[in-house]
C-alpha cells in the first residue's frame, strides 16, 4: 500500500537518462536501467515499446523542455540579454536534472535517433538560428554561420557541464557568470579597436 511517490514511468526515465549520460546509449543495457530504477525489466516494456523508443522519448522530452524554457519571451530581448537568457536556460536545466542535457552530447546523426527526434533538433537549431541572425543583423554578433556559433557555445557548455558532473569543478553564481561572459566573448563582434 501507499508508496508510488514517484511513478514507475518517471523512475525509468530518470534511471535511463542518468545511465545514457554516463555510459552512452549502446553501453547501457535494459537490465541496468531496471536495476537503477528498481523495477522489473518487463515493466520497462509496459511504458516503452523498445529501448530505441525509450531513448527517443527521453531525447524529445529533454529537448522539448529546454526549447520551451528558451522560447518564453526571449524574442523581444536585446541580443546580449537574449544570449544570457539562453545560457541561463542551459544552467537551470543542469540544476533541475543532473542529466537533462543528454541531447547536447548526442550527435544529430546518432544511429538510434528517429525522425521526430531529428526534426526537433532542427527546430531548436532553427530557433537559435533566428536569434543569432538577429544578432548578426544588428552587428553585435560575428557574422559566422549560425550552426558555427551554436557549435561554439554548446560545445563549450557541454564540456563544462561534463567537468561539473565528474565533480572536477563546482558551479557557483560567480563562475556561471564568468563562463557566460566567456561564451559571449567567443561569438560577439568585437569593436574594431586594436585587438590582439
Q: Does 144 bind DNA (CB under 7 A)?
A: no
Q: How far is the CB of 112 from DNA (least distance, A)?
A: 11
* Torsion sign (Cα): 148, 61, 116, 112: positive
Report the partner that residue 171 touches, choosing among DNA, a copy of itself, none (CB closer than 5 to 8 A by kind): none
Under the binding rule (CB under 7 A), the answer on residue 50 touching DNA is yes
Binding of residue 69 to DNA (CB under 7 A): no
Is there a contact between 141 and 135 (Cβ–Cβ < 8 Å)? yes
What SS3 class is residue 131?
Answer: helix
> Number of residues in contact with a copy of itself, rule: CB under 8 A?
42
CB 62 within 8 A of CB 103: yes
Query: Does 29 engage in binding with DNA (CB under 7 A)?
Result: yes
142 contact partners, CB below 8 Å, separation of at least 6: 136, 149, 187, 188, 189
Element (DSSP H or E) covering residue 12: helix 8-23
Binding-residue pattern over the window 55 to 84 for a copy of itself, x denoting contact by CB under 8 A: -------------------------x----
Measured from the CB atom, the residue of 43 and 165 that comes closer to DNA is 43
Q: Which residues bind DNA (CB under 7 A)?
A: 1, 3, 7-8, 28-31, 34, 39-43, 45-47, 49-52
Amino acid at each position: 500500500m501507499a508508496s508510488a511517490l514517484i511513478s514507475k514511468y518517471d523512475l525509468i526515465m530518470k534511471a535511463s537518462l542518468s545511465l545514457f549520460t554516463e555510459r552512452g546509449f549502446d553501453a547501457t543495457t535494459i537490465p541496468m536501467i531496471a536495476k537503477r530504477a528498481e523495477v522489473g525489466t518487463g515493466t520497462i516494456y509496459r511504458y516503452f515499446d523498445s529501448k530505441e523508443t525509450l531513448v527517443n522519448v527521453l531525447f524529445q522530452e529533454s529537448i522539448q523542455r529546454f526549447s520551451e524554457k528558451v522560447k518564453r519571451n526571449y524574442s523581444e530581448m536585446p541580443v546580449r540579454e537574449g544570449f544570457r537568457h539562453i545560457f541561463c536556460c542551459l544552467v537551470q536545466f543542469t540544476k533541475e536534472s543532473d542529466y537533462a542535457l543528454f541531447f547536447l552530447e548526442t550527435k544529430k546523426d546518432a544511429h538510434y535517433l528517429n525522425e521526430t527526434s531529428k526534426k526537433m533538433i532542427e527546430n531548436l537549431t532553427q530557433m537559435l538560428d533566428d536569434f543569432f541572425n538577429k544578432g548578426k543583423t544588428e552587428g553585435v554578433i560575428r557574422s559566422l554561420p549560425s550552426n558555427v556559433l551554436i557549435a561554439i557555445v554548446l560545445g563549450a557548455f557541454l564540456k563544462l557541464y561534463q567537468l561539473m558532473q565528474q565533480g572536477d569543478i563546482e558551479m557557483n553564481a560567480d563562475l556561471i557568470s564568468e563562463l557566460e561572459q566567456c561564451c559571449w566573448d567567443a561569438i560577439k563582434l568585437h569593436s574594431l579597436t586594436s585587438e590582439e
